[in-house]
Structure 1
Amino acid sequence: MSDDCLLHLAMTLKATGYSFTTVTPATHARVNSRLKNAWARNATDVFGWSRPFREGVITPQLFAAMRIADVLDTQGEGWISRVRASTLRGQLFLHSAYPTTASDAIFFGPDTYRFANAIARYLSGNVADDVHVQRAVDIGCGSGPGAVIVALERPKADVFAVDINDMALQYTAVNAQLAGATGVTIQHSDLLDGVDGGFDLIVANPPYLLDAQERTYRHGGGSFGEGLSLAIASLARTRLAPGGTLLLYTGTAITDGTDRFRASVAPLLDNSSLEWDYQELDPDVFGEELDELAYAEADRIAAVLLTARRARS
Protein backbone atom coordinates (compact mmCIF):
# COMPACT_ATOMS: atom_id res chain seq x y z
CA MET A 1 0.00 0.00 0.00
CA SER A 2 1.48 3.34 -1.01
CA ASP A 3 0.73 6.54 0.88
CA ASP A 4 -0.64 8.21 -2.26
CA CYS A 5 -3.02 5.34 -2.99
CA LEU A 6 -4.24 5.17 0.61
CA LEU A 7 -4.75 8.93 0.61
CA HIS A 8 -6.75 8.71 -2.62
CA LEU A 9 -8.93 6.00 -1.06
CA ALA A 10 -9.47 8.08 2.08
CA MET A 11 -10.35 11.18 0.07
CA THR A 12 -12.78 9.20 -2.09
CA LEU A 13 -14.46 7.76 0.99
CA LYS A 14 -14.58 11.13 2.77
CA ALA A 15 -16.23 12.73 -0.28
CA THR A 16 -19.20 10.37 0.12
CA GLY A 17 -20.04 11.90 3.53
CA TYR A 18 -18.97 8.73 5.32
CA SER A 19 -19.14 8.74 9.12
CA PHE A 20 -18.52 5.98 11.64
CA THR A 21 -18.00 5.84 15.41
CA THR A 22 -15.89 2.87 16.39
CA VAL A 23 -17.08 0.69 19.28
CA THR A 24 -15.28 -1.79 21.51
CA PRO A 25 -14.23 -5.13 19.98
CA ALA A 26 -16.78 -6.92 22.20
CA THR A 27 -19.63 -4.73 20.97
CA HIS A 28 -18.41 -5.05 17.39
CA ALA A 29 -18.46 -8.85 17.63
CA ARG A 30 -22.00 -8.86 19.03
CA VAL A 31 -23.36 -6.54 16.33
CA ASN A 32 -21.65 -8.41 13.51
CA SER A 33 -22.93 -11.75 14.80
CA ARG A 34 -26.52 -10.84 13.92
CA LEU A 35 -27.67 -12.82 10.90
CA LYS A 36 -28.71 -9.72 8.97
CA ASN A 37 -25.13 -8.40 9.27
CA ALA A 38 -23.37 -11.30 7.60
CA TRP A 39 -22.85 -9.21 4.45
CA ALA A 40 -22.37 -5.48 4.01
CA ARG A 41 -25.19 -3.38 2.60
CA ASN A 42 -23.37 -0.05 2.29
CA ALA A 43 -19.99 1.69 2.67
CA THR A 44 -20.44 2.01 6.45
CA ASP A 45 -20.69 -1.77 6.70
CA VAL A 46 -17.61 -2.20 4.50
CA PHE A 47 -15.30 0.38 6.10
CA GLY A 48 -16.74 0.68 9.60
CA TRP A 49 -18.07 -2.75 10.50
CA SER A 50 -15.48 -4.63 8.40
CA ARG A 51 -18.09 -6.85 6.80
CA PRO A 52 -17.59 -8.74 3.53
CA PHE A 53 -19.37 -7.22 0.55
CA ARG A 54 -20.57 -8.18 -2.90
CA GLU A 55 -20.41 -6.31 -6.17
CA GLY A 56 -22.56 -3.18 -6.34
CA VAL A 57 -22.59 -2.43 -2.60
CA ILE A 58 -20.19 0.51 -2.93
CA THR A 59 -19.69 2.92 -5.83
CA PRO A 60 -17.42 1.94 -8.74
CA GLN A 61 -15.14 4.87 -7.83
CA LEU A 62 -14.70 3.63 -4.29
CA PHE A 63 -14.16 0.04 -5.39
CA ALA A 64 -11.54 1.18 -7.90
CA ALA A 65 -9.76 3.19 -5.20
CA MET A 66 -9.66 0.07 -3.00
CA ARG A 67 -8.15 -1.95 -5.82
CA ILE A 68 -5.50 0.67 -6.50
CA ALA A 69 -4.65 0.89 -2.80
CA ASP A 70 -4.42 -2.92 -2.65
CA VAL A 71 -6.64 -3.24 0.43
CA LEU A 72 -9.02 -5.90 -0.91
CA ASP A 73 -9.08 -9.57 0.07
CA THR A 74 -11.46 -12.06 -1.50
CA GLN A 75 -13.99 -13.65 0.84
CA GLY A 76 -16.51 -16.18 -0.39
CA GLU A 77 -18.34 -14.69 -3.34
CA GLY A 78 -17.17 -11.17 -2.54
CA TRP A 79 -14.44 -9.14 -0.91
CA ILE A 80 -13.44 -7.69 2.46
CA SER A 81 -11.38 -4.59 3.25
CA ARG A 82 -8.08 -4.72 5.10
CA VAL A 83 -8.54 -1.11 6.20
CA ARG A 84 -11.14 0.51 8.35
CA ALA A 85 -12.16 4.15 8.70
CA SER A 86 -13.40 6.06 11.74
CA THR A 87 -14.49 9.66 12.22
CA LEU A 88 -13.27 11.65 15.20
CA ARG A 89 -13.76 15.38 15.86
CA GLY A 90 -14.68 16.01 12.24
CA GLN A 91 -11.71 14.15 10.79
CA LEU A 92 -11.43 10.76 9.06
CA PHE A 93 -8.82 8.25 10.20
CA LEU A 94 -7.79 5.08 8.39
CA HIS A 95 -6.63 2.18 10.55
CA SER A 96 -6.63 -1.62 10.63
CA ALA A 97 -9.77 -3.61 9.89
CA TYR A 98 -11.60 -5.61 12.55
CA PRO A 99 -10.54 -7.95 14.06
CA THR A 100 -7.11 -6.58 14.93
CA THR A 101 -5.32 -9.89 15.30
CA ALA A 102 -1.97 -9.10 13.64
CA SER A 103 0.93 -7.98 15.83
CA ASP A 104 1.38 -4.78 13.82
CA ALA A 105 -2.34 -3.92 13.69
CA ILE A 106 -3.35 -0.29 14.21
CA PHE A 107 -6.08 -0.16 16.85
CA PHE A 108 -8.78 2.51 17.07
CA GLY A 109 -11.67 2.48 19.50
CA PRO A 110 -13.39 4.18 22.45
CA ASP A 111 -9.99 4.72 24.10
CA THR A 112 -9.03 6.82 21.06
CA TYR A 113 -12.03 9.10 21.50
CA ARG A 114 -11.34 9.62 25.21
CA PHE A 115 -7.67 10.31 24.48
CA ALA A 116 -8.49 12.79 21.71
CA ASN A 117 -11.08 14.58 23.81
CA ALA A 118 -8.63 14.93 26.69
CA ILE A 119 -6.11 16.62 24.38
CA ALA A 120 -8.73 18.92 22.89
CA ARG A 121 -10.01 19.93 26.33
CA TYR A 122 -6.50 20.74 27.46
CA LEU A 123 -5.71 22.85 24.40
CA SER A 124 -9.02 24.69 24.14
CA GLY A 125 -10.18 24.91 27.75
CA ASN A 126 -10.26 27.87 30.10
CA VAL A 127 -6.47 27.88 30.30
CA ALA A 128 -5.96 27.84 26.53
CA ASP A 129 -4.22 31.22 26.54
CA ASP A 130 -1.74 29.77 29.01
CA VAL A 131 -1.03 26.66 26.93
CA HIS A 132 2.02 27.53 24.85
CA VAL A 133 2.96 24.70 22.48
CA GLN A 134 5.90 25.23 20.18
CA ARG A 135 7.13 21.63 20.15
CA ALA A 136 5.02 18.53 20.84
CA VAL A 137 5.21 14.76 20.43
CA ASP A 138 2.69 11.92 20.26
CA ILE A 139 4.47 8.81 21.60
CA GLY A 140 3.14 5.58 20.08
CA CYS A 141 1.05 7.53 17.60
CA GLY A 142 -0.88 4.59 16.08
CA SER A 143 -3.15 6.05 13.40
CA GLY A 144 -2.16 9.57 14.49
CA PRO A 145 -5.19 11.15 16.22
CA GLY A 146 -3.12 12.67 19.02
CA ALA A 147 -0.60 14.28 16.70
CA VAL A 148 -3.29 15.45 14.27
CA ILE A 149 -5.41 17.12 16.97
CA VAL A 150 -2.40 18.91 18.44
CA ALA A 151 -1.30 20.08 14.99
CA LEU A 152 -4.77 21.35 14.09
CA GLU A 153 -5.21 23.12 17.44
CA ARG A 154 -1.69 24.59 17.34
CA PRO A 155 -0.88 25.02 13.62
CA LYS A 156 2.40 26.85 14.33
CA ALA A 157 3.77 24.03 16.48
CA ASP A 158 6.26 21.38 15.40
CA VAL A 159 4.50 18.11 16.18
CA PHE A 160 6.34 14.78 16.12
CA ALA A 161 4.47 11.51 15.65
CA VAL A 162 6.62 8.56 16.71
CA ASP A 163 6.06 4.82 16.79
CA ILE A 164 8.01 1.56 16.46
CA ASN A 165 5.41 0.25 14.00
CA ASP A 166 6.09 1.25 10.40
CA MET A 167 2.47 0.61 9.45
CA ALA A 168 1.36 3.03 12.15
CA LEU A 169 3.67 5.67 10.71
CA GLN A 170 2.19 5.12 7.24
CA TYR A 171 -1.37 5.50 8.49
CA THR A 172 -0.41 8.58 10.51
CA ALA A 173 1.20 10.19 7.47
CA VAL A 174 -1.94 9.59 5.39
CA ASN A 175 -4.34 10.72 8.11
CA ALA A 176 -2.35 13.87 8.85
CA GLN A 177 -2.30 14.81 5.17
CA LEU A 178 -6.02 14.09 4.86
CA ALA A 179 -6.72 16.39 7.83
CA GLY A 180 -4.46 19.14 6.53
CA ALA A 181 -2.24 18.84 9.61
CA THR A 182 0.90 20.16 7.93
CA GLY A 183 2.97 20.53 11.11
CA VAL A 184 3.30 16.79 11.75
CA THR A 185 6.72 15.12 11.38
CA ILE A 186 6.66 11.31 11.17
CA GLN A 187 9.58 9.46 12.77
CA HIS A 188 10.35 5.86 13.66
CA SER A 189 11.30 5.77 17.32
CA ASP A 190 11.13 3.52 20.37
CA LEU A 191 9.64 5.97 22.85
CA LEU A 192 11.87 9.01 22.23
CA ASP A 193 15.07 7.28 21.10
CA GLY A 194 16.63 9.40 18.36
CA VAL A 195 14.30 12.34 18.99
CA ASP A 196 16.26 15.08 20.72
CA GLY A 197 15.24 18.09 22.76
CA GLY A 198 12.48 19.06 25.14
CA PHE A 199 8.75 19.33 24.51
CA ASP A 200 6.03 21.72 25.55
CA LEU A 201 3.52 18.90 25.23
CA ILE A 202 3.87 15.12 25.32
CA VAL A 203 0.75 13.09 24.59
CA ALA A 204 0.48 9.31 24.65
CA ASN A 205 -2.10 6.56 24.54
CA PRO A 206 0.15 3.50 24.91
CA PRO A 207 -0.82 -0.18 24.96
CA TYR A 208 -1.77 -1.03 28.54
CA LEU A 209 -3.01 -4.61 28.55
CA LEU A 210 -1.20 -7.84 29.27
CA ASP A 211 -1.50 -9.75 26.01
CA ALA A 212 -0.56 -13.43 25.93
CA GLN A 213 0.62 -13.03 22.32
CA GLU A 214 2.49 -9.80 23.19
CA ARG A 215 1.06 -8.03 20.15
CA THR A 216 2.68 -4.62 19.75
CA TYR A 217 -0.55 -2.64 19.59
CA ARG A 218 -1.97 -3.91 22.90
CA HIS A 219 0.80 -5.35 25.13
CA GLY A 220 2.01 -2.88 27.74
CA GLY A 221 4.33 -5.14 29.71
CA GLY A 222 5.02 -4.95 33.41
CA SER A 223 2.98 -6.81 36.03
CA PHE A 224 -0.45 -5.68 34.81
CA GLY A 225 0.26 -3.91 31.49
CA GLU A 226 1.58 -0.70 33.07
CA GLY A 227 5.17 -1.03 31.81
CA LEU A 228 5.02 1.32 28.83
CA SER A 229 2.95 3.88 30.70
CA LEU A 230 5.54 4.01 33.48
CA ALA A 231 8.34 4.41 30.93
CA ILE A 232 6.56 7.38 29.34
CA ALA A 233 5.88 9.00 32.70
CA SER A 234 9.56 8.58 33.55
CA LEU A 235 10.57 10.25 30.27
CA ALA A 236 8.47 13.28 31.13
CA ARG A 237 10.77 14.02 34.05
CA THR A 238 13.63 14.86 31.69
CA ARG A 239 11.97 15.68 28.36
CA LEU A 240 9.35 18.25 29.33
CA ALA A 241 10.45 21.83 28.69
CA PRO A 242 9.77 24.50 31.36
CA GLY A 243 5.99 24.91 31.48
CA GLY A 244 5.56 21.68 29.51
CA THR A 245 2.81 19.12 30.11
CA LEU A 246 2.41 15.36 29.78
CA LEU A 247 -1.06 14.02 28.92
CA LEU A 248 -0.93 10.26 29.37
CA TYR A 249 -4.14 8.35 28.70
CA THR A 250 -3.84 4.74 29.79
CA GLY A 251 -5.53 1.86 31.55
CA THR A 252 -4.86 0.34 34.94
CA ALA A 253 -5.76 -2.87 36.71
CA ILE A 254 -7.57 -2.43 40.04
CA THR A 255 -6.81 -5.25 42.47
CA ASP A 256 -8.38 -5.35 45.95
CA GLY A 257 -9.18 -1.66 45.55
CA THR A 258 -5.60 -0.71 44.61
CA ASP A 259 -4.87 1.12 41.36
CA ARG A 260 -1.72 -0.68 40.24
CA PHE A 261 -0.50 2.02 37.83
CA ARG A 262 -1.06 4.86 40.27
CA ALA A 263 0.71 2.94 43.02
CA SER A 264 3.76 2.61 40.74
CA VAL A 265 3.79 6.07 39.16
CA ALA A 266 3.16 8.10 42.33
CA PRO A 267 6.61 7.64 43.92
CA LEU A 268 8.24 8.23 40.54
CA LEU A 269 6.53 11.60 40.10
CA ASP A 270 6.56 12.60 43.77
CA ASN A 271 10.36 12.47 43.63
CA SER A 272 10.48 14.70 40.55
CA SER A 273 10.03 18.41 39.91
CA LEU A 274 6.66 17.83 38.24
CA GLU A 275 3.22 18.69 39.54
CA TRP A 276 0.70 16.03 38.63
CA ASP A 277 -2.98 15.16 38.60
CA TYR A 278 -4.67 11.80 38.13
CA GLN A 279 -8.25 11.16 36.97
CA GLU A 280 -10.25 7.99 36.49
CA LEU A 281 -12.18 8.58 33.26
CA ASP A 282 -14.00 5.26 33.00
CA PRO A 283 -14.17 2.74 35.84
CA ASP A 284 -14.69 -0.35 33.68
CA VAL A 285 -13.08 -0.99 30.28
CA PHE A 286 -12.14 -4.23 28.50
CA GLY A 287 -14.08 -6.29 31.02
CA GLU A 288 -13.64 -9.38 28.85
CA GLU A 289 -9.93 -9.35 29.74
CA LEU A 290 -10.82 -10.37 33.30
CA ASP A 291 -11.39 -13.88 31.96
CA GLU A 292 -7.68 -14.10 31.12
CA LEU A 293 -5.19 -15.71 33.50
CA ALA A 294 -3.12 -12.51 33.63
CA TYR A 295 -6.04 -10.71 35.30
CA ALA A 296 -7.11 -13.48 37.66
CA GLU A 297 -6.53 -11.16 40.65
CA ALA A 298 -8.02 -8.00 39.10
CA ASP A 299 -11.41 -6.56 40.03
CA ARG A 300 -11.63 -4.29 37.00
CA ILE A 301 -9.61 -2.33 34.44
CA ALA A 302 -10.08 1.45 34.51
CA ALA A 303 -9.23 4.15 31.96
CA VAL A 304 -7.24 6.99 33.52
CA LEU A 305 -5.61 10.28 32.56
CA LEU A 306 -2.31 11.32 34.10
CA THR A 307 -1.44 15.01 33.69
CA ALA A 308 2.04 16.11 34.76
CA ARG A 309 3.46 19.61 34.36
CA ARG A 310 6.85 21.19 34.81
CA ALA A 311 6.78 24.67 36.30
CA ARG A 312 8.03 27.55 34.19
CA SER A 313 11.55 28.55 35.16
Structure 2
Amino acid sequence: MAKRWINDLTHSDVTPEKAFLNRRQILAGLGAGIGAGAAFGVAGQAHAQEALKPNKWDDITNYCNYYEFGTGKEDPARNAHTLTTEPWTVKIDGLVDNPGDYALGDILAKMTIEERIYRFRCVEAWSMVVPWNGFELADLLSMAGVKSDAKYVAFETVFRPEEMPGTRYQVLDWPYVEGLRLDEAMHPLTLMATGLYGKPLPNQNGAPLRLVVPWKYGFKSIKSILRITLTDTQPPTSWNKANAREYGFYSNVNPTVDHPRWSQASERPIGGGLFAGRKDTLMFNGYDEVASLYDGMDLAANF
Protein backbone atom coordinates (compact mmCIF):
# COMPACT_ATOMS: atom_id res chain seq x y z
CA MET A 1 0.00 0.00 0.00
CA ALA A 2 1.34 3.40 -0.99
CA LYS A 3 2.70 5.84 1.54
CA ARG A 4 0.54 8.96 1.50
CA TRP A 5 2.44 11.35 3.74
CA ILE A 6 6.03 12.55 3.99
CA ASN A 7 7.39 13.68 7.34
CA ASP A 8 9.38 16.91 7.50
CA LEU A 9 11.23 15.69 10.61
CA THR A 10 14.54 13.87 10.20
CA HIS A 11 16.83 11.81 12.40
CA SER A 12 18.62 15.01 13.41
CA ASP A 13 15.40 16.01 15.22
CA VAL A 14 15.00 12.73 17.08
CA THR A 15 15.25 12.69 20.85
CA PRO A 16 18.34 10.54 21.56
CA GLU A 17 17.29 7.01 22.41
CA LYS A 18 19.14 7.11 25.72
CA ALA A 19 17.27 10.30 26.66
CA PHE A 20 13.93 8.73 25.70
CA LEU A 21 14.73 5.69 27.81
CA ASN A 22 16.21 7.70 30.67
CA ARG A 23 13.43 10.28 30.89
CA ARG A 24 12.55 9.14 34.39
CA GLN A 25 15.96 10.25 35.63
CA ILE A 26 15.89 13.45 33.58
CA LEU A 27 12.46 14.47 34.85
CA ALA A 28 13.45 13.61 38.39
CA GLY A 29 16.37 16.01 38.01
CA LEU A 30 14.11 18.72 36.61
CA GLY A 31 11.72 18.18 39.48
CA ALA A 32 14.55 18.78 41.88
CA GLY A 33 15.07 22.19 40.36
CA ILE A 34 17.56 21.56 37.55
CA GLY A 35 16.89 24.12 34.88
CA ALA A 36 13.61 25.20 36.38
CA GLY A 37 14.67 28.79 35.94
CA ALA A 38 16.35 30.55 33.08
CA ALA A 39 19.66 28.70 32.83
CA PHE A 40 21.66 25.73 34.14
CA GLY A 41 24.60 26.19 36.43
CA VAL A 42 27.73 24.07 36.07
CA ALA A 43 26.53 21.67 38.78
CA GLY A 44 23.11 21.43 37.16
CA GLN A 45 24.64 20.58 33.78
CA ALA A 46 26.80 17.89 35.34
CA HIS A 47 23.79 16.40 37.09
CA ALA A 48 21.72 16.35 33.90
CA GLN A 49 24.56 14.88 31.85
CA GLU A 50 24.88 12.14 34.46
CA ALA A 51 21.17 11.41 33.99
CA LEU A 52 21.74 11.03 30.24
CA LYS A 53 24.26 8.23 30.59
CA PRO A 54 22.93 5.09 28.88
CA ASN A 55 21.85 2.10 30.91
CA LYS A 56 20.86 -1.43 29.98
CA TRP A 57 17.63 -1.72 28.00
CA ASP A 58 15.91 -3.66 30.79
CA ASP A 59 16.88 -1.02 33.33
CA ILE A 60 15.78 2.06 31.44
CA THR A 61 12.57 1.26 29.56
CA ASN A 62 10.73 1.79 32.80
CA TYR A 63 9.11 5.24 32.75
CA CYS A 64 5.70 4.23 31.42
CA ASN A 65 2.00 4.66 32.02
CA TYR A 66 0.24 1.34 31.52
CA TYR A 67 -2.11 1.04 34.46
CA GLU A 68 -3.08 -2.54 33.64
CA PHE A 69 0.37 -3.40 35.02
CA GLY A 70 0.38 -0.94 37.92
CA THR A 71 0.17 2.79 38.59
CA GLY A 72 3.84 3.32 39.43
CA LYS A 73 6.08 4.48 36.58
CA GLU A 74 8.30 1.42 36.97
CA ASP A 75 5.45 -1.07 37.42
CA PRO A 76 4.80 -1.73 33.70
CA ALA A 77 8.41 -2.64 32.98
CA ARG A 78 8.45 -4.85 36.07
CA ASN A 79 5.15 -6.60 35.36
CA ALA A 80 4.42 -6.47 31.63
CA HIS A 81 6.56 -9.50 30.82
CA THR A 82 3.50 -11.55 31.80
CA LEU A 83 1.56 -10.32 28.75
CA THR A 84 1.37 -12.90 25.97
CA THR A 85 1.76 -11.08 22.63
CA GLU A 86 2.12 -14.03 20.25
CA PRO A 87 -0.08 -15.03 18.58
CA TRP A 88 -2.12 -11.80 18.42
CA THR A 89 -5.51 -11.26 16.80
CA VAL A 90 -7.39 -8.00 16.32
CA LYS A 91 -11.17 -8.16 16.12
CA ILE A 92 -12.59 -5.60 13.68
CA ASP A 93 -16.35 -5.24 13.82
CA GLY A 94 -19.24 -2.81 13.68
CA LEU A 95 -19.90 -0.83 10.51
CA VAL A 96 -17.44 -2.65 8.23
CA ASP A 97 -17.86 -4.81 5.14
CA ASN A 98 -15.43 -7.48 6.31
CA PRO A 99 -15.83 -8.02 10.06
CA GLY A 100 -13.77 -10.71 11.68
CA ASP A 101 -10.71 -11.69 13.64
CA TYR A 102 -7.55 -10.55 11.87
CA ALA A 103 -4.29 -12.28 12.77
CA LEU A 104 -1.59 -9.66 13.26
CA GLY A 105 0.83 -11.68 11.15
CA ASP A 106 -1.62 -11.60 8.22
CA ILE A 107 -2.15 -7.86 8.67
CA LEU A 108 1.57 -7.15 8.65
CA ALA A 109 2.10 -9.29 5.56
CA LYS A 110 -0.19 -6.93 3.64
CA MET A 111 1.19 -3.66 5.01
CA THR A 112 4.16 -1.52 4.14
CA ILE A 113 5.97 -1.07 7.44
CA GLU A 114 7.74 2.27 7.57
CA GLU A 115 9.45 4.57 10.02
CA ARG A 116 7.63 7.71 11.11
CA ILE A 117 9.42 10.38 13.11
CA TYR A 118 6.78 12.13 15.20
CA ARG A 119 6.66 14.77 17.87
CA PHE A 120 5.24 13.31 21.04
CA ARG A 121 3.92 15.52 23.82
CA CYS A 122 2.89 14.36 27.24
CA VAL A 123 0.28 16.36 29.10
CA GLU A 124 2.79 17.06 31.91
CA ALA A 125 4.47 19.71 29.71
CA TRP A 126 7.45 17.81 28.29
CA SER A 127 8.01 16.64 24.74
CA MET A 128 10.09 14.33 22.59
CA VAL A 129 10.59 13.43 18.94
CA VAL A 130 10.22 9.65 18.62
CA PRO A 131 10.86 7.37 15.62
CA TRP A 132 8.01 4.86 15.41
CA ASN A 133 7.71 1.91 13.05
CA GLY A 134 4.32 0.88 11.78
CA PHE A 135 1.65 1.42 9.15
CA GLU A 136 -1.20 3.84 8.57
CA LEU A 137 -4.41 3.03 10.39
CA ALA A 138 -6.24 4.02 7.19
CA ASP A 139 -4.74 1.00 5.42
CA LEU A 140 -6.09 -1.38 8.06
CA LEU A 141 -9.54 0.23 8.00
CA SER A 142 -9.58 0.03 4.22
CA MET A 143 -8.80 -3.69 4.47
CA ALA A 144 -11.86 -4.13 6.69
CA GLY A 145 -14.03 -1.94 4.43
CA VAL A 146 -15.60 1.06 6.18
CA LYS A 147 -19.36 1.43 5.66
CA SER A 148 -20.70 4.83 4.61
CA ASP A 149 -22.60 5.40 7.86
CA ALA A 150 -19.52 4.96 10.07
CA LYS A 151 -18.44 8.15 11.86
CA TYR A 152 -16.13 7.00 14.67
CA VAL A 153 -13.52 4.36 15.41
CA ALA A 154 -13.47 2.77 18.87
CA PHE A 155 -10.43 0.93 20.25
CA GLU A 156 -10.14 -1.55 23.09
CA THR A 157 -7.06 -2.80 24.92
CA VAL A 158 -6.61 -6.45 25.78
CA PHE A 159 -8.09 -7.33 29.17
CA ARG A 160 -6.48 -10.34 30.86
CA PRO A 161 -6.58 -10.07 34.65
CA GLU A 162 -4.47 -13.21 34.96
CA GLU A 163 -1.67 -11.44 33.04
CA MET A 164 -2.35 -7.84 34.09
CA PRO A 165 -2.03 -7.37 37.86
CA GLY A 166 -3.13 -3.73 37.72
CA THR A 167 -6.62 -4.70 36.58
CA ARG A 168 -7.27 -6.20 40.00
CA TYR A 169 -7.81 -2.61 41.17
CA GLN A 170 -10.52 -0.29 39.88
CA VAL A 171 -8.15 2.52 38.94
CA LEU A 172 -10.03 2.79 35.65
CA ASP A 173 -13.08 1.08 34.20
CA TRP A 174 -11.50 -1.92 32.47
CA PRO A 175 -10.89 -2.67 29.69
CA TYR A 176 -9.14 0.52 28.57
CA VAL A 177 -10.94 2.13 25.64
CA GLU A 178 -10.23 5.03 23.28
CA GLY A 179 -11.79 6.58 20.21
CA LEU A 180 -11.27 8.82 17.22
CA ARG A 181 -13.52 10.50 14.76
CA LEU A 182 -13.35 8.64 11.43
CA ASP A 183 -11.62 11.49 9.59
CA GLU A 184 -8.98 11.61 12.34
CA ALA A 185 -8.48 7.86 12.07
CA MET A 186 -8.16 7.99 8.28
CA HIS A 187 -5.67 10.86 8.30
CA PRO A 188 -2.27 9.70 6.99
CA LEU A 189 -0.53 10.93 10.14
CA THR A 190 -2.39 8.36 12.26
CA LEU A 191 -0.18 5.32 12.78
CA MET A 192 -0.56 1.80 14.07
CA ALA A 193 2.86 1.36 15.67
CA THR A 194 4.67 -1.96 15.92
CA GLY A 195 8.06 -0.66 17.08
CA LEU A 196 10.18 2.31 18.08
CA TYR A 197 13.84 3.20 17.60
CA GLY A 198 14.05 0.35 15.09
CA LYS A 199 13.14 -2.27 17.71
CA PRO A 200 9.88 -4.16 18.37
CA LEU A 201 7.65 -2.48 20.93
CA PRO A 202 8.45 -3.58 24.48
CA ASN A 203 5.39 -4.92 26.28
CA GLN A 204 5.28 -1.91 28.59
CA ASN A 205 5.15 0.43 25.59
CA GLY A 206 2.13 -1.25 24.06
CA ALA A 207 3.27 -4.41 22.28
CA PRO A 208 2.48 -5.71 19.83
CA LEU A 209 0.26 -2.98 18.35
CA ARG A 210 -0.57 0.51 19.57
CA LEU A 211 -2.08 3.69 18.22
CA VAL A 212 -0.02 6.86 17.66
CA VAL A 213 -1.83 10.13 16.94
CA PRO A 214 0.94 12.75 16.98
CA TRP A 215 -1.22 15.90 17.20
CA LYS A 216 -2.91 14.62 20.35
CA TYR A 217 -1.64 13.97 23.86
CA GLY A 218 0.08 10.67 24.54
CA PHE A 219 -2.74 9.12 26.54
CA LYS A 220 -4.82 8.93 23.32
CA SER A 221 -2.31 6.39 21.97
CA ILE A 222 -4.00 3.26 23.28
CA LYS A 223 -1.72 0.25 23.81
CA SER A 224 -1.98 -3.48 22.99
CA ILE A 225 -5.06 -3.09 20.80
CA LEU A 226 -7.29 -6.13 20.66
CA ARG A 227 -10.48 -4.74 19.12
CA ILE A 228 -11.43 -1.99 16.66
CA THR A 229 -15.08 -1.10 16.17
CA LEU A 230 -16.56 1.23 13.55
CA THR A 231 -19.63 3.04 14.87
CA ASP A 232 -21.98 5.93 14.11
CA THR A 233 -21.90 7.27 17.68
CA GLN A 234 -19.06 8.82 19.66
CA PRO A 235 -17.44 6.06 21.72
CA PRO A 236 -16.49 6.36 25.39
CA THR A 237 -12.82 6.87 26.29
CA SER A 238 -11.26 5.71 29.54
CA TRP A 239 -9.79 8.96 30.82
CA ASN A 240 -12.85 10.96 29.84
CA LYS A 241 -15.01 8.53 31.82
CA ALA A 242 -12.65 8.78 34.78
CA ASN A 243 -12.31 12.59 34.80
CA ALA A 244 -14.24 14.46 32.10
CA ARG A 245 -13.17 17.84 33.49
CA GLU A 246 -9.51 17.14 32.68
CA TYR A 247 -9.67 14.78 29.71
CA GLY A 248 -11.92 15.56 26.75
CA PHE A 249 -12.71 13.26 23.85
CA TYR A 250 -10.53 15.15 21.37
CA SER A 251 -7.45 15.75 23.54
CA ASN A 252 -5.71 17.81 20.86
CA VAL A 253 -2.53 19.66 21.77
CA ASN A 254 -3.84 23.20 22.21
CA PRO A 255 -1.60 25.69 24.05
CA THR A 256 -4.48 28.14 24.54
CA VAL A 257 -6.44 25.70 26.72
CA ASP A 258 -4.92 25.08 30.12
CA HIS A 259 -5.14 21.76 31.87
CA PRO A 260 -7.11 22.44 35.09
CA ARG A 261 -3.93 21.89 37.12
CA TRP A 262 -1.22 23.44 34.92
CA SER A 263 -0.52 25.57 31.86
CA GLN A 264 -0.01 23.87 28.50
CA ALA A 265 1.43 26.96 26.79
CA SER A 266 5.04 25.79 26.93
CA GLU A 267 7.02 22.57 27.09
CA ARG A 268 10.49 21.29 27.87
CA PRO A 269 12.06 19.05 25.20
CA ILE A 270 13.66 15.90 26.55
CA GLY A 271 17.14 15.15 25.21
CA GLY A 272 18.87 17.52 22.82
CA GLY A 273 16.87 20.54 23.94
CA LEU A 274 17.37 19.98 27.63
CA PHE A 275 19.69 22.95 28.14
CA ALA A 276 17.74 25.25 25.83
CA GLY A 277 14.98 25.74 28.37
CA ARG A 278 11.28 25.76 27.67
CA LYS A 279 9.72 26.55 24.31
CA ASP A 280 6.27 27.53 23.18
CA THR A 281 3.88 24.67 22.59
CA LEU A 282 2.70 24.48 18.97
CA MET A 283 -0.96 24.17 18.10
CA PHE A 284 -1.74 20.57 17.15
CA ASN A 285 1.82 19.80 18.24
CA GLY A 286 3.01 21.54 15.06
CA TYR A 287 0.99 19.40 12.63
CA ASP A 288 -0.83 22.18 10.82
CA GLU A 289 -2.09 19.74 8.18
CA VAL A 290 -4.77 18.49 10.59
CA ALA A 291 -6.20 21.94 11.33
CA SER A 292 -8.85 21.61 8.62
CA LEU A 293 -10.33 18.63 10.48
CA TYR A 294 -11.58 21.06 13.11
CA ASP A 295 -12.78 23.99 10.99
CA GLY A 296 -15.65 25.72 12.74
CA MET A 297 -15.23 23.85 16.02
CA ASP A 298 -14.84 25.56 19.37
CA LEU A 299 -11.60 23.90 20.49
CA ALA A 300 -11.99 25.18 24.02
CA ALA A 301 -15.36 23.46 24.40
CA ASN A 302 -14.23 20.44 22.38
CA PHE A 303 -10.94 19.91 24.21
TM-score under structure 1 normalisation?
0.26
Which structure exhibits the higher relative contact order, with contacts defined as CA atoms closer than 8 Å and separated by 6 or more residues?
2
- Hey, which of these two has a bigger chunk of helix by percent? 1
- Hey, which of these two has a bigger chunk of strand by percent? 1
